[in-house]
């Protein structure tokens, strides 16, 4: 498993699993639990969830899936922006810890920016670190101006990641946010790297996949993972799809492949507003 380094120097795998939408259907719980456990088996140990997902149902499912295997996972969850006050962040974190069945979160993210000042949320994160409730903190869905504001704050340089949507059809971050983060050694965590499956019938993607003898999803993931300091967390709710995603690590795109994909989905030539799914 290829790894990238967080600003702290800790190594994490470049491929993990997302859990948006999981835990909401009791009939799917066994399959979803098996998917998370398969990800651990394959070294895809970054497990991403959030208090918002299913009003905590996803965190509860993750907690059950990690029972007895917590030390194998790099666990990521998120605080909602309207909870992100000094006291509210601590309370939200306690709720997540309870649902996840753990005493510490590896990476705690601000889900998106709201009205609470970043300095106050950062103060709460630092308090949680001192208490041993979280190991690292980061952000999600923050664009360049917000990241620059964060980095100017005392302690802001400790931000571990910015989790944003990034895939072949949503390349806006390549203009400024992606190089700005990676140039400072801040990894970007790509959510929806498969565009929730909507891009997988793209004719160029299908042709390149056929030439490599793999699936379009594997080509799309390999395209995201070609970037240094980018970690992908596809939402994958079945063991079969987890294995499919894992095999994307073996795909090597050629210069011709990349040029063909650029022609079909051109990189940005100007600033674009940060997209959110």
Residues with a known catalytic role? 53
**CA dist., res. 63 & res. 60, Å (int):** 5
Q: How far is CA 128 from CA 12, 77, 90, 153, 263, in A?
A: 21, 14, 7, 18, 46
Q: How far is CA 188 from CA 46, 69, 162, 220, 228, in A?
A: 13, 26, 5, 17, 9
CA atoms 272, 114, 237, 69: torsion sign: positive
Contact assessment for residue 135 and residue 106, using Cβ atoms and an 8 Å cutoff: yes
**CA dist., res. 247 & res. 201, Å (int):** 19
**CA dist., res. 113 & res. 153, Å (int):** 15
Contact assessment for residue 164 and residue 172, using Cβ atoms and an 8 Å cutoff: no
CA atoms 184, 120, 231, 165: torsion sign: negative
* Cα angle 24-29-35, degrees, rounded to a multiple of 5: 115
Contacts of 178 (CB under 8 A, 6+ apart): 166, 188, 227, 230
CA atoms 97, 110, 153, 8: torsion sign: positive
User: What are the tokens at 10?
Assistant: 């800790």
Contact assessment for residue 40 and residue 242, using Cβ atoms and an 8 Å cutoff: no
């Amino acid at each position: 498993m290829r790894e990238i380094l967080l600003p702290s120097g800790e190594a994490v795998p470049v491929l993990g699993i997302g859990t948006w939408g999981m835990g909401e259907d009791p009939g799917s719980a066994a399959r979803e639990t098996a998917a998370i456990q398969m990800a651990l088996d394959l070294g895809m140990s970054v497990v991403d969830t959030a208090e918002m997902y299913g009003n905590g149902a996803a965190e509860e499912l993750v907690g059950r899936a990690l029972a007895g295997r917590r030390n194998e996972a790099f666990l990521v969850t998120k605080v909602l922006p309207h909870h992100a006050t000094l006291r509210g962040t601590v309370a939200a974190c306690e709720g997540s810890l309870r649902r996840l069945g753990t005493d510490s979160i590896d990476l705690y993210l601000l889900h998106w920016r709201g009205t609470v000042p970043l300095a106050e949320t950062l103060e709460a994160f630092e308090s949680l670190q001192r208490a041993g409730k979280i190991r690292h903190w980061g952000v999600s869905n923050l664009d360049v101006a917000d990241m620059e504001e964060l980095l100017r704050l005392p302690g802001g340089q400790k931000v571990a990641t910015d989790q944003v949507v990034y895939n072949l059809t949503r390349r806006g971050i390549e203009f400024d946010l992606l190089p700005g983060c990676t140039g400072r050694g801040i990894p970007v965590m790509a959510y929806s790297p498969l565009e929730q499956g909507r891009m997988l019938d793209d004719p160029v993607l299908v042709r390149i996949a056929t030439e490599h003898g793999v699936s379009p999803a594997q080509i799309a993931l390999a395209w995201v993972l070609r970037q240094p300091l980018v970690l992908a967390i596809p939402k994958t709710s079945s063991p079969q799809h987890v294995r499919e995603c894992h095999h994307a690590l073996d795909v090597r795109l050629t210069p011709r492949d990349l040029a063909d994909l650029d022609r079909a989905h051109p990189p940005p030539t100007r600033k674009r507003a940060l997209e959110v799914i």
